[in-house]
Amino acid sequence: MPHDHDHHDMPPDPALRVKALETALLDKGLVDPDALDLIVETYAHKVGPQNGAQVVARAWTDPAYLERLRTDATAAIAEFGFGGRQGEHMVAVENTPEVHNLVVCTLCSCYPWSVLGLPPVWYKSSAYRSKAVIDPRGTLADFGLSVPKEREVRVWDSTAEIRYLVIPQRPEGTDDLDETALAALVTRESMIGTGEVKAP
């Protein structure tokens, strides 16, 4: 079959491409606009790293909760109402002065959406997926994070069965902050292990 139809230039900006696709789907009646609005609302305000940040802040301030998180992270995270959407079978791994944890999915992009939102592009890239295992310290350096040689770096490979959430170290000088203020300091990168939480 000849390939004789015209190709239109796609907008260079990803946001414009998404909007063009959305418009085409709506114009053809293939997508319900209310359903689309609900999906956007969910990922903008209900699913994302702000959820994981709440879990981390609670772990920092409540020793009993931290112990539940260590024992059964799935159940402890569900106490917040976070679960499903790739968030089943969670395991929490804690950063300490002796150990730094890094999460990767070497096969594809398994990732705990319920607590971290959609995976960033770099997490899904083959460069990250291979280098994180081969050279974890170099990978961390790529993100601007230097881990001392005496500190062990552990790499955790997420799968369809198990997903990991890094509990970063609580920064010094934050003893007077409540859970809400602490959660505001926690980043998605710190819960993957490619970053650390900084004091305000």
Annotated active-site positions, please? Answer: 105, 108-110
Phi/psi zone of residue 170: left (φ > 0), alpha (ψ -120 to 50 degrees), beta? Answer: beta
For 41, left (φ over 0), alpha (ψ -120 to 50), or beta? alpha
Gap between the Cα atoms of 59 and 131, Å rounded: 30
User: Which residues make Cβ contacts (< 8 Å) with residue 64, sequence separation at least 6?
Assistant: none
- Start-to-end CA span in the chain (Å): 62
Rounded to an integer, what is the distance from CA 174 to the centroid of its chain?
23
- Alpha helices of the chain — where are they, by DSSP H? 14-27, 33-41, 49-61, 63-71, 73-78, 113-116, 121-124, 126-134, 136-142, 179-183, 188-192
Q: What is the dihedral of CA 176, 177, 182, 185, to 10 degrees?
A: -80
